[in-house]
Structure 1
Amino acid sequence: MSYLDVLDPDFDFDTPEVHAAQAESWYADSPIGLLVLRYHEASELLRDRRMEHDGKRYMETHGIVDGPIYDWFVPMIVNHEGEHHRRLRGLSNKAFTARRLAALRPFVREQSERLAGRLTGDETRDFVTEFGNRLPLAVMCRLLGVRPEDYDLIGTWTADLGLVFALSGGGDVVARLERAVVGLYDYVGHLIDEKAARPGDDLSSDLVTAHLADKSQISREELSNLLVTLVFAAHDTTRHQLDNAMLAFAGHPDQWTLLGRQPELAVQAAEEVIRWQPSVPTVYRYAVEDFDYQGLPIAKGAYLTMCVKVAQRDPRAYKAADRFDITAVRDVPPLQFGAGPHHCLGAALARVEVSEALAALATRLGPPTLACPVPRMTPIGIQGPEVLPLRFG
């Protein structure tokens, strides 16, 4: 069995060592447990009912047994199964109906075109600050009915919530995450009271109305937790996906030029950047019972990491898997949104944002060029550059 030290500061999933491990077997060992390297096995295990998130165990594994982070993460919707999960998911689905997404698309397009206009000229710009962070933050606030003047107030908190999946990184992660949780819970409390008094045509108002009509359907505590979680889900992963898209195209300027000439490829291009440079390179699960998988004993409580970035370049699942090609029609969906009952609620919205952003940028600007090397990013957790200095040709 190969051993991959994912906690080594210099580790990177896109290396010959990792590709050799994938060729050898569907799994490898690591300091944090088994790594699942191939697409088919990762997809199956994400759907396997013998595996679950187990937020309580995840927190305790990282030494967090109480406090604001624990109180937010453990009751989160993804950490529930069965009827409890279906009840909360049914309410959350209201955010992502075809009608609501269709109504949001013109706003996403207008914001994308406006922000793309800020990047014209020859000077170097930080794409994260000028575009990657701003677009999903504006969309998330529009979806939830947050006032535009509050965007900057909650933007830092929503960005820092993603650190919950990088607790093994150490440093000031826990302190930043706790500040974000406390700040957002306080903000959401005021938002709930505001929507109760003056409801609007937004998701927050819909959820508050459901709570006031039947508190057994969703309690105040569940409502607060759900809104904080939706704020995080609608912002952090998408901002990093937009930034990662620029990294992908910076390495493939011919593909950018092609997209600029054929913006109708934007939807396909969004799928390819999600496959090639996912903002969620790993997804974890715990075993809830002892079982055997492909001859390998999996013990109850075992921690498995689905290596999404590696699996999405698995030549067993994708033709020409090692090529970034926006014209390719892929036969299987990306894994970064999960699978089964816990498939990401916001996947459709993320695709809308990335495709509209790519169309707006590529038709207005030449290929992106990195002004300086991007610091190495942690392979575990949500991944994307914090600063991305770009020049557009």
Structure 2
Amino acid sequence: MVTAENAATSEVPFLNIIDPGFDFGAPEVMAAQAESWYADSPMGLLVLRYAEAQELLRDRRLDHNGRGYMEQNGVFDGPIYDWFVPMINNHDGEDHRRLRGLVSKAFTPRMISELRPFIRAEAERMAEEMASAGSCDFVESFADPLPLAVMCRMLGVPREDYDTFRLWTNDIGLVFSMIHGGDIVARVERAVVGLNGYISSLMEDKAKNPGDDLISTLVAAQREEGQVSEDELRNLLVTLVFAAHDTTCHQLSNAMVVFAEHPEQWNLLAERPELAPQAIEEIIRWAPSTPIIYRCAAEDFDYGGLRVEKGTFMTMCAQTAQRDPRVFEDGGSFDITTGSTAPPLLFGAGLHYCLGAPLARAEMADALSALVRRLGPPSVVGPVSWRPPTGIHGPEQLPLRFGDR
């Protein structure tokens, strides 16, 4: 927290990030960044600049404190609490290494390579259907079903169960938006209960009838090595489900919003497909589906002129920091020809760097390739409804019309 002494000696910018219309790239946010590396908010300290965010993500004096995050949002027990608190993201030290070691056995370059033909085929089929339709809700037609299909293929979920799975995997990502109230907690709880039951039955089935999918691989490794319990494996798989689907869905939708605002960049990508890797990094920099990353002080410490007390939540504002002019030349502009050497923050850093980052990039690459080959630039043709800005962020409904190619 900002202590009384800190507050007396500095004027700290205040940003109301729980306002549903809050934008981490808004002029007032960038003005706060120019004034200070941090700001205050209803959720604690916000880290606004890239260098500080990158350093703090690696700082061992900060941890994830899943219990504190739950209690801060008024959840003290129940299914959400029981899933979230022991989640791999909320472990550090030996427990984190043990859990991550199991997942890394399946999340390999070979696994991603073997998925690529399926990703390309699905992306091309969906793009062709949108080209025939003329206009669409992009989330419903492409952004949601593509990563859902990839995730289900990776896990070994039968296609007939996709629609059931889809509702749960969309709602579980709202766990980082519970501060907004309404029916969010109830939706997350239904998703956690549903996924726990479904994943348990899949684990049981894969133990008896193993295939070449990720769950079969992890179940076999868990039983052979015994380093992870069945409850821990179930928790890992539920967490993977939410990470593999929801974040990529919203990243794809965010990309279309950005290209609708910059149609010349879409046409440039169509003319120069070799720019796809740079385009993906620029989309992730400019409009990340994870605009903030939480950490919590595990001890009292001093940083950047502040006395940070144990239990203080510090929120790294990835979207804001990834436009920091101290690091990104012309950081306030979207340009797919710009090749940044600074890594994006949304995948985390250090020991907690996201294992799924290569798969997310592969899905984005194959999706953009299929879309720009068949379709002209997107235009928004109706109201866009958005997820709250404090969690996995992106459109829930995105009515688009694509130009002719």
Tell me if the contact between 2:318 and 2:346 (Cα under 8 Å) persists in the aligned partners: yes
1:117 equivalent in alignment to 2:89: no
Report sequence identity in percent. 61
1:193 equivalent in alignment to 2:209: no
Tell me if the contact between 2:106 and 2:217 (Cα under 8 Å) persists in the aligned partners: no
Q: Residue type of the partner of 1:243?
A: S
1:75 aligns with 86
CA distance in 2, matches of 1:31, 1:208: 42
1:250 aligns with 260
Identify the match of residue 16 of structure 1 among 18, 27, 50: 27
Identify the match of residue 203 of structure 1 among 197, 210, 214: 214
Identify the match of residue 319 of structure 1 among 324, 329, 347: 329
1:343 aligns with 353
- The CA deviation at 1:323 is 1.2
- The CA deviation at 1:149 is 1.2
SS of the residue 2:41 aligns to: coil
- 1:287-338 CA-to-partner distances (Å, cap 9, x unmatched) read 0000011221111110111111100111111111111111111010110111
2:161 aligns with 150
Tell me if the contact between 2:154 and 2:213 (Cα under 8 Å) persists in the aligned partners: yes
CA distance in 2, matches of 1:96, 1:258: 33
Change (3 A) 1:385 1:366: same
1:268 aligns with 278
1:5 aligns with 16
SS of the residue 2:316 aligns to: strand
CA distance in 2, matches of 1:390, 1:95: 36
Identify the match of residue 54 of structure 2 among 29, 43, 49: 43
2:6 aligns with none
2:64 aligns with 53
Tell me if the contact between 2:387 and 2:396 (Cα under 8 Å) persists in the aligned partners: no
2:187 aligns with 176
Which stretches in structure 2 are left out of the alignment for 5+ residues? 1-11
1:278 aligns with 288
- The CA deviation at 1:122 is 6.2
Q: For structure 1, which segment, 259-268 or 66-75, has the greater mean C-alpha deviation from structure 2 after superposition?
A: 259-268
Identify the match of residue 145 of structure 2 among 131, 134, 145: 134
Q: Residue type of the partner of 1:147?
A: P
Tell me if the contact between 1:122 and 1:392 (Cα under 8 Å) persists in the aligned partners: no
Q: Residue type of the partner of 1:127?
A: F
1:301 aligns with 311
Tell me if the contact between 1:266 and 1:356 (Cα under 8 Å) persists in the aligned partners: no
2:391 aligns with 381
CA distance in 2, matches of 1:95, 1:276: 30
Q: Residue type of the partner of 1:55?
A: G
Q: CA RMSD in A?
A: 1.1
- The CA deviation at 1:10 is 3.4
CA distance in 1, matches of 2:267, 2:255: 14
CA distance in 2, matches of 1:24, 1:368: 36
- The CA deviation at 1:377 is 4.4
Tell me if the contact between 1:263 and 1:363 (Cα under 8 Å) persists in the aligned partners: no
SS of the residue 1:119 aligns to: helix
- 1:115-150 CA-to-partner distances (Å, cap 9, x unmatched) read 111111463200000000011001101111111111
Which stretches in structure 1 are left out of the alignment for 5+ residues? none
1:90 aligns with 101
- The CA deviation at 1:236 is 0.5
Tell me if the contact between 2:291 and 2:346 (Cα under 8 Å) persists in the aligned partners: yes
1:232 aligns with 242
Change (3 A) 1:375 1:192: closer
Tell me if the contact between 1:161 and 1:232 (Cα under 8 Å) persists in the aligned partners: yes
Give the TM-score normalised by structure 2: 0.95
Identify the match of residue 333 of structure 1 among 340, 343, 359: 343
Q: For structure 1, which segment, 315-324 or 91-100, has the greater mean C-alpha deviation from structure 2 after superposition?
A: 91-100
- 1:247-302 CA-to-partner distances (Å, cap 9, x unmatched) read 01000000001111122211211111111110001111100000011221111110
